[in-house]
Amino acid sequence: MRTRFYNFKVGVDFKLPSREKLFKKMGEYDTLAEYTVCALRDFEKKWDRKKKFEDYVTQKAIEHSVNLRGGVTLPNHEPALYKSFMVNSHALLGDFIQSYKLDIRSLIDPNFKLCDTDGLSNVEKLVRALKTNNIVPNFPKWLLPLLDYYRLLRNSTAHVQEDEDRCMKAYLKIPLGEFEKDYPIFKGKAPNMPDSITMDDFYLYSASIKHFANFLTMALKGKVKWAELGAIHPDFDVRNIPKGTDIIAKINSVLFMKYNYHPTKDEFEQIKNYIKEHKHSSTH
């Protein structure tokens, strides 16, 4: 079901290790979240409506040796559950940002770092840092406000903060008209207001994180000076290349397997010559 939500037109034909890792981890966690929801819905389906839900929960808790005695009501537990799923999604987004920073250091600027202005989210710190390097991803107008809204929802769960007013202000900043025009599959489904979160919000947050990664990936494609990679990429550092390594195979492996990039003859020769020259000088 979730895969149809992720079919947004970005046209990614470039690979980054940070994006590949993110997609793998998010796929694993999305599956776990869906399993949890399936189990919950099956659990509720077997509830005899003649009995109070709290009593049913208590009965099942005893059967499964879980220390739970009622306290869960149908109106309040599902939105809280869906918000809890966002805690891990947010953590994966943070991990992606750190990995993406390393990709930039390997490909463009070895000294790249996030903006260190206090009070900014990690997303804002990254976007500002990219701008100083003339890297401006072509985000749709709704993407960053949407990510910030779900970040605040996540904070309200992870830090037990009941700051619904702040979340609501963030929700109102999302240009819903443009979002629904770009992404009609979510129209009427998500995003929802803070007190009405559904599983579709979890899907949308996951999808938005993937779109964020896609736009960031494509933003680097035209910025890499491939011919100069021998001087900055860790995989081409002669200290990391064992004696007897096939340099041609090494270059092809890094550029194609990691980045899906086929170098020109001139780019290839410049990288190869740089490695050979520095391997020679390091032995003397």
DSSP codes of every residue in 3-40: GGGG--S-------HHHHHHHHHHHHHHHHHHHHHHHH
Residue 252 covered by a domain: yes
Res 278: pLDDT: 83
Tens digits of per-residue pLDDT, 168-200? Answer: 999 999 999 999 998 899 999 999 999 899 999
Q: What is the spatial distance between Cα 182 and Cα 237, in angstroms, rounded to a whole number?
A: 44
Tens digits of per-residue pLDDT, 7-50? Answer: 555 678 899 999 999 999 999 999 999 999 999 999 989 999 99
Res 67: pLDDT: 85
- Domain closes at, from 198, 221, 244: 221
Same domain? 106 vs 190: yes
Contact predicate 250/134, CB 8 Å? no
Residue 86 covered by a domain: yes
Same domain? 92 vs 18: yes
Res 160: pLDDT: 61
Give yes or no for residue 159 having a pLDDT over 70. no
More confident residue, 8 or 68: 68
Q: What angle do CA 203, 207, 213 make, to 5 degrees?
A: 155
Same domain? 117 vs 19: yes
Res 171: pLDDT: 97
Tens digits of per-residue pLDDT, 232-252? Answer: 999 999 988 998 899 999 999
Residue 90 covered by a domain: yes
Same domain? 194 vs 271: no
Tokens of 124: 């804002």
Residue 44 covered by a domain: no
Contact predicate 262/256, CB 8 Å? yes
Residue 162 covered by a domain: yes
Nearest Cα residue to 284 out of 236, 226, 245, 238: 238
Please give the residue range of the domain that contains residue 241.
Answer: 226-282
Res 1: pLDDT: 46
If pLDDT is split at 50, 70 and 90, which confidence band does 209 have? very high
Give yes or no for residue 6 having a pLDDT over 80. no
Same domain? 214 vs 233: no
Q: What is the spatial distance between Cα 22 and Cα 39, in angstroms, rounded to a whole number?
A: 26
Same domain? 196 vs 234: no
- Domain closes at, from 169, 196, 221: 221
Same domain? 232 vs 203: no
Q: How many domains does the chain have?
A: 2
Tens digits of per-residue pLDDT, 102-146? Answer: 999 999 999 999 999 999 999 999 999 999 999 999 999 999 999
Same domain? 99 vs 27: yes
- Domain closes at, from 169, 191, 221: 221
DSSP string across 224-276: --GGGHHHH-GGG-GGGS-TT--HHHHHHIIIIIIH-----HHHHHHHHHHHH
Res 86: pLDDT: 95
Res 243: pLDDT: 87
Same domain? 141 vs 247: no
Cα Rg of the chain, angstroms: 24
Same domain? 146 vs 241: no
Same domain? 169 vs 89: yes
Contact predicate 69/89, CB 8 Å? no
pTM of the model: 0.90
Residue 51 covered by a domain: no
Residue 144 covered by a domain: yes
Same domain? 179 vs 97: yes
Q: What is the spatial distance between Cα 171 and Cα 190, in angstroms, rounded to a whole number?
A: 11
Res 58: pLDDT: 87
Res 70: pLDDT: 58
DSSP-H helix ranges across 108-198: 122-132, 143-158, 164-172, 176-182
Residue 70 covered by a domain: no
Question: Mean pLDDT over all residues of the chain?
Answer: 90
